[in-house]
Amino acid sequence: MLETIKIKVAELTAQFLKQEKGAETLEYVAIAAVVIILGIAAYQAAAPGIGGVINTALTAIQNAVTGVG
């Protein structure tokens, strides 16, 4: 049973890759993956700076609400 499923998946994958739409879809998936990876990397690189800005803003809001400063 498992072998039959593996064969069917292999056949469908081969058929998918032969079609132009399948190849085009794979290109878009690869591009999307690269964009996501770059976005994650950029966020991690900027996170300390972003965290500081958010922390400063929240502190200013808290001080304004409580009347400190």
41-69 confidence digits (pLDDT tens): 877 777 666 667 777 888 888 888 887 65
What are the extents of the domains in the chain? 20-69
> What pTM did the predictor assign?
0.42
**Under a CB-based contact definition with an 8 Å cutoff, are residues 42 and 36 in contact?**
no
Tokens representing residue 7 in the block? 């064969």
**Mean pLDDT lowest among 5-9, 20-24, 25-29, 60-64:** 20-24
* Phi, psi torsion values for 19, nearest 5 degrees: -80, 145
